[in-house]
Amino acid sequence: MSLKKNLYIIIVGCGRLGSYIANSLSGSGHGVVVIDKEESALNLLSAEYSGFRITGDAAEFNVLQQVKMDKADVVIATTQEDNLNLMIAQIAKSFFHVPKVMARVFDPKREKIYRDFDIATICPTTFAGDLFLESIILYFKTKVEGSPS
């Protein structure tokens, strides 16, 4: 089995999250493409960003074909709409057979649906919630017990 050294990564949505991931991956040697339906969103990419940028509606199949989703190793759906992210992730998985598909999902109740489709999810809601809870516990321990551990 030959192992590819560089991945082809498609990021759908170039807002606060997508641009953060794209900017972080830039310079990593991986091939990165970012899609956003708003041209202005692409301005969030840093001057150092060396990947491709596409203005287009990722809900349109031809846009997914245009970015050669069939060649992708990784697809990350980061729009602000859970339903759209699920749809894109499903198409990536089932139609284009992308091996690694991930999606942002705000609604914790929807995570199970994604899991049933073998789509990895990050839920910013529970993620932030858990960090806040952890911080409260740490604060309580420091305050009441006098120890941060």
| Alpha carbons 71 and 31: distance in angstroms, whole number | 11
Annotate each residue in 118-147 with x if it binds ligand AMP (CB under 6 A) or - if it does not, as one string: ------------------------------
**How does DSSP assign 17-67, residue by residue?**
HHHHHHHHHTTSSSEEEEEESSGGGGGGS-TT--SEEEES-TTSHHHHHHT
**Minimal CB distance residue for ligand AMP:** 15
Residues 43-102 that bind ligand AMP (CB under 6 A): 57-59, 78-81, 84
In this complex, which beta carbon is closest to ligand AMP, that of residue 73 or of residue 81? Answer: 81
Based on CB atoms, which residue is closest to ligand AMP, 57 or 134?
57
Question: Binding residues for ligand AMP, how many (CB under 6 A)?
Answer: 20
15 touches 36 (CB < 8 A):
yes
**Encoded tokens for 110:** 């929807």
From candidates 6, 16, 24, 50, binder to ligand AMP by CB under 6 A: 16
Nearer to ligand AMP, 31 or 53 (CB): 53
Residues that bind ligand AMP (CB under 6 A): 12-18, 35-38, 41, 57-59, 78-81, 84
